[in-house]
Structure 1
Amino acid sequence: MELTDQLGREIINRLSKYINVPINLMNPQGKIVASTDPARVGQSHGGAIAVIETTEPQFITDEDVIHYANVKPGANLPIFHRDKLAGVVGLTGPPDQVTQAAGMTQGSVEIALEQIYIQRQAFYQERQWNHWLQQLLNEEMDRDELIREASYTLRTDVNRTWQVLVFQAEEPFELAESLKSMFHHKDYLFILPYQDNMVIATILFPETSIFYPDNIRSRIGVGEPGFSIDGIRHSFKQACEAIELSDRKCEPIYSRDLQMERLLHNVDPRTFLEVTEAYQNRLQHLEKIYHTTLTHFFKQDMKMNRTAEVLHIHRNTLIYRLDQLTRKVGLDPRHFKDAVILQTILLHN
């Protein structure tokens, strides 16, 4: 990474808060790209050119100024990034007074360059993964191309078994960063914000446990493990469906625990309408108390005593409500076949 105008300005803004002498940053061609003195930006710096030619520091005194173009007394030191010359840093002032500060500035600039480099690499890689994810979830994806791109561009072997976790939260970017730090000990393919309120995490199976930040309220859907590209797609859809089909919060919702719900939810729409339309209309006109009773009755596996206890009502009151519901809707939730139809209606509403 070389010192450019943009990088130079960013570094000067950081350093000028702590160093009270004039600072110049020159690129590998000796041009001043950033300075605490804006008037000097764009000039060719003779001292920097000498540093570039020799890769050695140049200390310029009042007597030396006449030997260099566009210079003032000061210390000019080479900047290296990953063993390559990235530019030159110069501090203005008597060399014996600014040399120590120049050395500290040199180290600070090299550290800043590395930090910026790492940040940019991470940002660039995340953009690549986002593009790859968009292609993956596209209905017209090219499976072979995605595998090649993962291998050659992202340097990842996707031909393994993965499990997708979908997190639904108000602050997806903050959540994604928290998850990356929490999953650092696990092998994960990617952890990316997706759409407005979602984070997708694809981790290597088997996972031993699932953690998420306590300070961020989030719903978590967990898909079934799957192999390679198709497995990731299926696991993602299952994780999303798990969130859709369950009202649980603050704990993982596993797709494998919702097999009946998934089956009923994916019934053919036309068949569903033919069978349930009349019952749906009647159910919609009932008071809310009947919907609540029916929901809890199914959650408690159609157990009368447990349902009455959860609803804080007498068993006879529950029986009365179910009798009224049966009479008004035409389906008795205490009978298996009728219960299946009612449960299907609830899942589609």
Structure 2
Amino acid sequence: MVGRLPSMAQKATGKLTHTVALRVVQTIAPRVDYPLNIMDERGIIIASSDPKRLGNPHPDALRALSENRTIVTAQADPVSGQLPGVNVPLYADGVVQGVVGVTGAPQEVASLAQLISLTVQLLLTQHEEHVRSTVRATQISDMLSGLVSGSASDEALAEQLEQLGLSAPWSLSLLLDEDGPEQYEAALTINNARWVLSSGPIEDPASARAILGPPRTQPSDLLVDAENLRTLGAVPALVPAAGLRELWNEDMALSAARAPEAYCRSLARRTAQISAEHAFTLLALAASSTQSEAIARLTVHRNTLIQRMDRIKQVTGSDPRVPGELMALLSSIYARVRLGEMHIFQYSKQLKYGLRPIGLVEESP
């Protein structure tokens, strides 16, 4: 079960730490001729060019914090031991985090103190951005891990989506064999499969076999999509290449992926003698509303399509012109893919058999 995630406001970001202060002092102190101190939000010295001062309160730093302004001390105070210098408040996200103090004549050290203060603030900002980025990456990973493993709930997923600022509609997709650079913010790679959750549809990854989820407005629908993708991802042969996705039938693929192996073997017998060429013909017929549309997809002459349909009927005993028998033939084809007897959803096969998406300029037969 994926629990409640801490919000960004609950994370300590941009806080002045002893580590950051010490790094600044160790880097800058050897390069300047003035004593340097960094105090935390309580006015306690947490880093100094004089190690003996560590842990002691700094009077001018306390004033700088309480008055929220730069404190300039022109004269030494023999009673308190306070030396001349400049103490500049440190800010991160508009909040005072500490004080930078440089000892020396104010006219000599004022600019240096301001410069060091800006340097520390820059480090705090960088640290804050890094922490926020890390927190967000962890939140994304937790959310997708819940979807992939099936441990997510509607309530938890809705809360995670809101915290991440991912607005509906959402789509959940599964990409295989994509070796390009990481280009998705909400993505998780497991066993060479990349799960991608996006606000709206993702750009079609033409270089990968993929299942691109439809837009969803309810987290519960994403949970159903995740279950289906887990099922299909377990049988990579059923995941189509880009040029074949319009011929691919998700319901058929899911049925084949979920069916017992013995039942798939029974279904596969119907098309045991069918070639890959004829299998693509069946896919094109099922994805087309007319034979003319199937011809355009297959880039064949009408007589060629008729000859193929006749041959399929002769070999299988089922007529692909009859919708019910065409569906039975398709179920058998998907069962053969599920059993590893066919590999028709690879892009190389599409090129071999001349398939192309509808909408491209037709060639003369």
Q: TM-score, normalised by structure 2?
A: 0.59
- What is the rounded CA distance, in whole Å, between the counterparts of 1:294 and 1:277 in structure 2? 14
Identify which of 156, 166, 174 aligns with 2:174: 166
- What is the rounded CA distance, in whole Å, between the counterparts of 2:283 and 2:56 in structure 1? 77
Corresponding position of 1:344:
335
Higher relative contact order (CA 8 A, sep 6+): 2
Q: In the alignment, does 2:251 pair up with 1:265?
A: no
The verdict on how the C-alpha distance between 1:25 and 1:196 changes in structure 2, with shifts beyond 3 A counting, is farther
The Cα of 1:11 is off from its aligned counterpart by 5.6
Identify which of 68, 75, 91 aligns with 2:86: 75
* RMSD of aligned Cα (Å): 5.0
Q: How does 1:82-231 map to 2 (within 5 A)?
A: 82-139=93-150, 141-144=152-155, 146-147=157-158, 149-150=159-160, 154=163, 160-168=168-176, 175=182, 178-180=183-185, 191-195=186-190, 197=192, 198-204=194-200, 207=201, 210-211=202-203, 219-231=209-221
Amino acid in structure 2 at the alignment position of 1:5: H
Aligned-pair identity in percent equals: 15
Corresponding position of 2:352:
none
CA contact (8 A) 1:26 1:89 kept: yes
The verdict on how the C-alpha distance between 1:267 and 1:24 changes in structure 2, with shifts beyond 3 A counting, is same
- What is the rounded CA distance, in whole Å, between the counterparts of 2:196 and 2:44 in structure 1? 45
The Cα of 1:89 is off from its aligned counterpart by 1.1
CA contact (8 A) 1:202 1:232 kept: no
- What is the rounded CA distance, in whole Å, between the counterparts of 1:169 and 1:150 in structure 2? 28
- CA distances 1:298-318 after superposition (whole Å, capped 9, x unpaired): 6676999x9899xxxxx9xxx
CA contact (8 A) 1:79 1:87 kept: yes
- What is the rounded CA distance, in whole Å, between the counterparts of 1:99 and 1:114 in structure 2? 23
- What are the ranges of 5 or more consecutive residues in structure 1 without an aligned counterpart? 181-190, 284-289, 310-314, 324-329
- What is the rounded CA distance, in whole Å, between the counterparts of 1:16 and 1:333 in structure 2? 84
Q: In the alignment, does 2:54 pair up with 1:42?
A: yes
The Cα of 1:248 is off from its aligned counterpart by 1.9
- What is the rounded CA distance, in whole Å, between the counterparts of 1:40 and 1:212 in structure 2? 63
- What is the rounded CA distance, in whole Å, between the counterparts of 2:156 and 2:71 in structure 1? 53
CA contact (8 A) 2:152 2:223 kept: no
CA contact (8 A) 1:51 1:88 kept: yes
CA contact (8 A) 1:219 1:252 kept: no
The verdict on how the C-alpha distance between 1:261 and 1:55 changes in structure 2, with shifts beyond 3 A counting, is same
Corresponding position of 2:69:
56
The verdict on how the C-alpha distance between 1:58 and 1:169 changes in structure 2, with shifts beyond 3 A counting, is farther
The Cα of 1:345 is off from its aligned counterpart by 0.8
Amino acid in structure 1 at the alignment position of 2:163: L
The verdict on how the C-alpha distance between 1:246 and 1:134 changes in structure 2, with shifts beyond 3 A counting, is closer
Partner SS for 1:227:
coil
Corresponding position of 2:359:
none
- What is the rounded CA distance, in whole Å, between the counterparts of 2:241 and 2:29 in structure 1? 50
Q: TM-score, normalised by structure 1?
A: 0.61
Q: Compare the two structures and name the one with the higher strand fraction.
A: 1
Q: How does 1:222-241 map to 2 (within 5 A)?
A: 222-238=212-228, 241=232
Amino acid in structure 1 at the alignment position of 2:70: P
The Cα of 1:168 is off from its aligned counterpart by 4.7
CA contact (8 A) 2:89 2:96 kept: yes
- What is the rounded CA distance, in whole Å, between the counterparts of 2:40 and 2:276 in structure 1? 70
CA contact (8 A) 1:222 1:239 kept: no
The Cα of 1:232 is off from its aligned counterpart by 1.2
Amino acid in structure 2 at the alignment position of 1:64: A
Q: In the alignment, does 2:24 pair up with 1:8?
A: no
- What is the rounded CA distance, in whole Å, between the counterparts of 1:252 and 1:39 in structure 2? 70
Partner SS for 2:41:
coil
Amino acid in structure 1 at the alignment position of 2:141: N
Corresponding position of 1:186:
none
- What is the rounded CA distance, in whole Å, between the counterparts of 2:241 and 2:41 in structure 1? 59
- What is the rounded CA distance, in whole Å, between the counterparts of 2:153 and 2:127 in structure 1? 34
- CA distances 1:44-73 after superposition (whole Å, capped 9, x unpaired): 252423433443323456x5274556x765
The verdict on how the C-alpha distance between 1:31 and 1:139 changes in structure 2, with shifts beyond 3 A counting, is same
Amino acid in structure 2 at the alignment position of 1:39: P
Partner SS for 2:16:
coil
Aligned length: 302
The Cα of 1:272 is off from its aligned counterpart by 2.1
